[in-house]
């Protein structure tokens, strides 16, 4: 083991962390680290990190690191034990300090993990394009939060699929290259991606401003933030709501029982709820978490526009002209979108689109269907070629081209698993055997 370690000391790569809001994520760092070593992420995980990981791990069972990580790739940036141990292993191998800052480890004892991290990888193509031009391509940590849905900088929604192949992306894959889709290997920010400017609402602005503060919290002082929150919330209840729980729960748009649990400290709000409470009272998150006594009655004011009512308000003010305009843009994108995706982007459900814009909706659906069919046959043809190639090679080498062997070969060359389970491909193989 010693000899192995000596041979493979990891390059001490600096992360991008100048600014809190755009600080790099650990998953992004791992991809860059692998790319810098001319290794695939898979090789880096299996041949370098797994060994260190199982050496220093406090977990008893030896784990298969790549498998675990691909299944939970969003969690690498979170605050679970694997995030922590990955930080330790990387530090051990590269002597790089402070990699914990590329995760949410500092929130571990404060913010509940439920609904915190997004399973889907999201990105802003404009940010990536800019950073690529500056030669510093990477993915920021906050894109991994469920709560963060927009790029405030570019006033646009983050995208959660590849604009070229339409596939959803995960945080880490075996052959990931920075800035590229792990399925089709096209750049995320190249070509004609549509440019819909999103109206960034006040709540999202608030989130973005206050995340900076939350990201800066010190792990060691977390307990005091929790105590301060309880004290501050109780102070607000007394000073501003005259002890009236009902009035307070109405103003904060929270069920009474939930609010009660926050007030007694039985439960700490999720990130979204925490932000929401601060937003409704129009005070910075900082004022809720810092020492009691900094708040004054004048500071607190309940907002007129209530965030939780947004959905209902939206339904009333259906701006047909604007939606139609968006639908037309989606109808003309290079890569068609499914109506479900379009509905998500437009912020209305699919049924509503069908009812109000039947012709446009139908067109969008058909386009996508047609596109998917072509993609499927394109994929099948590619696999057929691989099957044929493997088949010929085996025959020439005097090996019987069995189903299992063919599947194994195709999997290792293009990564498609169990291809002969598909009827059409199976028939193709049988046909080869007959000829």
Residue 122 or 273 having the CB closest to Zn ion = 122
Residue 30 or 162 having the CB closest to Zn ion = 162
Residue 127 or 327 having the CB closest to Zn ion = 127
Q: Can you list the pairs that 248-255 forms with residues at least 24 positions away whose Cβ atoms lie under 8 Å? A: 251/280, 251/281, 251/302, 252/276, 252/277, 252/280, 252/281, 253/280, 253/306, 253/307, 253/308, 253/309
Residue 15 or 140 having the CB closest to Zn ion = 140
CB 145, min distance to Zn ion, A = 15
Residue 20 or 263 having the CB closest to Zn ion = 20
Residue 89 or 127 having the CB closest to Zn ion = 127
CB 208, min distance to Zn ion, A = 11
Binding site for Zn ion (CB under 5 A): 124, 126-127, 151, 153-154, 162, 164-165, 181, 183-184
CB 19, min distance to Zn ion, A = 13
CB 35, min distance to Zn ion, A = 18
- Can you give the three-state secondary structure of the chain, one letter per residue? CHHHHHHCCCCCCCCCCCCCCCCECHHHHHHHHHHHCCCCHHHHHHHHHHHHHHHHCCCCCCCCHHHHHHHCHHHHHCCCHHHHHHHHHHHHHHCCCCHHHHCCHHHCCCCCCCCCECCCCCECHHHHHHHHHCCCCCCEHHHHECCCCEECCCCEECECECCCCCCECCCCCCCCCCCECCCCCCECCCCCCCCCCCCCCHHHHHHHHHHHHHHCCCHHHHHHHHHHHHHHHHHHHHHCCCCCHHHHHHHCCCCHHHHHHHHHCCCCCCHHHHHHHHHHHCCCHHHHHCCCCCCCCCCCCCCCCCHHHHHHHHHHCCCHHHHHHHHHHHHCCCCCCCHHHHHHHHCCCHHHHHHHCHHHHHHHHHHHHHHHHHHHHHHHHHHHHHHHHHHHHHHHCCCCCCHHHHHHHHHHHHCCCCHHHCHHHHHHHHHHHHC
CB 58, min distance to Zn ion, A = 38
**347/335 Cα distance (integer angstroms):** 20
CB 275, min distance to Zn ion, A = 20
CB 184, min distance to Zn ion, A = 3
CB 389, min distance to Zn ion, A = 24
CB 183, min distance to Zn ion, A = 5
Residue 126 or 292 having the CB closest to Zn ion = 126
Residue 142 or 280 having the CB closest to Zn ion = 142
Residue 152 or 394 having the CB closest to Zn ion = 152
Which residues does 47 contact at the CB level (< 8 Å), separation at least 6? 8, 39
CB 14, min distance to Zn ion, A = 22
Residue 32 or 129 having the CB closest to Zn ion = 129
**33/41 Cα distance (integer angstroms):** 8
């Amino acid at each position: 083991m010693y000899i192995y370690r000596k041979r493979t000391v990891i390059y001490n790569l600096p992360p991008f962390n100048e600014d809190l809001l755009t600080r790099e994520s650990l998953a992004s760092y791992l991809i860059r680290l692998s790319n810098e070593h001319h290794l695939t992420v898979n090789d880096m995980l299996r041949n370098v990190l797994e060994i260190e990981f199982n050496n220093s791990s406090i977990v008893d069972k030896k784990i298969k690191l790549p498998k675990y990580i691909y299944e939970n790739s969003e969690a690498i940036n979170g605050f679970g034990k694997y995030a922590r141990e990955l930080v330790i292993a990387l530090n051990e191998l590269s002597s790089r300090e402070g990699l914990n800052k590329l995760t949410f480890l500092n929130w571990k004892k404060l913010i509940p993990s439920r609904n915190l991290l997004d399973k889907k990888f999201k990105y802003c193509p404009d940010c990536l394009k800019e950073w690529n031009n500056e030669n510093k391509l990477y993915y920021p940590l906050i894109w991994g939060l469920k709560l963060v849905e927009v790029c405030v900088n570019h006033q646009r929604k983050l995208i959660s699929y590849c604009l070229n192949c339409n596939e959803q992306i995960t945080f880490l894959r075996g052959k990931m290259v920075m800035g590229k889709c792990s399925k089709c290997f096209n750049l995320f920010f190249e070509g004609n991606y549509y440019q819909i400017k999103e109206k960034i609402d006040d709540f999202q602005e608030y989130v973005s401003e206050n995340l900076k503060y939350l990201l800066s919290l010190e792990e060691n002082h977390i307990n005091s933030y929790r105590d301060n929150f309880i004290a501050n919330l109780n102070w607000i209840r007394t000073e501003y709501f005259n002890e009236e729980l009902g009035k307070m729960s109405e103003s904060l748009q929270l069920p009474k029982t939930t609010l009660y649990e926050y007030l007694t400290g039985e439960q700490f709000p999720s990130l979204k709820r925490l932000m929401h409470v601060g937003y409704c009272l129009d005070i910075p998150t900082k004022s809720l978490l810092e020492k009691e006594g900094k708040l004054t009655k004048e500071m607190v004011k309940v907002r007129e526009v209530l965030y939780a009512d947004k959905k209902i308000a939206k339904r009333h003010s259906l701006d047909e002209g604007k939606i139609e305009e968006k639908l037309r843009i989606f109808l003309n994108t290079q890569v068609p979108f499914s109506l479900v995706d379009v509905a998500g982007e437009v912020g209305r459900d699919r049924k509503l689109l069908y009812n109000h814009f039947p012709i446009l909706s139908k067109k969008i659906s058909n386009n996508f269907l047609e596109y998917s069919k072509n993609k499927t046959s394109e994929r099948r043809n590619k696999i057929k070629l691989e099957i044929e190639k493997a088949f010929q090679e085996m025959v020439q080498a005097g090996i019987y081209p069995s189903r299992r062997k063919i599947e194994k070969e195709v999997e290792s060359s293009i990564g498609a698993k169990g291809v002969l389970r598909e009827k059409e491909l199976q028939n193709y193989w049988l046909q080869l055997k007959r000829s």
